[in-house]
Amino acid sequence: MNTVFNQCIVRHFADDTNILFHSKKPKTIETVLNFELKNIVDWLRANKLSLNEIKTDLVVFRSPQKLFINDISIKLNKLKLVPVEFVKYLGMYIDKTLSWKIHVNTLSI
């Protein structure tokens, strides 16, 4: 699977896969991710594997001081991925500004 990705960093743990890409330009993020996601969908189909698009999350990591204008359109198998505030990964809540506030608040309850 890793050979499908040309510009993204891919990390796997059990049945979870993370795709990371960095750019300061939103249009570059959109173009590269849409291209890479199309390639992975094609690869999965060719290998008779499936992907649960509903369980797929998109997080745009950024500095808390930087405003992110959500004008990018990332699609996975024709389903538009809407950026979320945080994701839960390996028991940790990772938020878009990497502040760890959500994770700490969850642990302190």
Q: Are 103 and 94 in contact (CB under 8 A)?
A: yes
Q: How does pLDDT run across 77-98, given as a tens digit for each residue? A: 889 998 999 999 989 999 999 9
pLDDT at 14: 87
| Residue 10, token pair as written in the block | 């891919």
More reliable by pLDDT, 27 or 65:
27
Q: Are 82 and 72 in contact (CB under 8 A)?
A: no
d(CA 61, CA 96): 4
pLDDT at 15: 84
pTM above 0.75, yes or no: yes
Mean pLDDT, to the nearest integer, of 29-34?
95
Give the confidence band of 72 by pLDDT, cuts at 50, 70, 90: confident
Residue given tokens 């896969």 in the structure block? 17
Task: Estimate to the nearest angstrom the gap between the alpha carbon of 90 and the chain centroid.
Answer: 15
- Residue 106 belongs to what H/E stretch? helix 101-107
Give the confidence band of 68 by pLDDT, cuts at 50, 70, 90: low
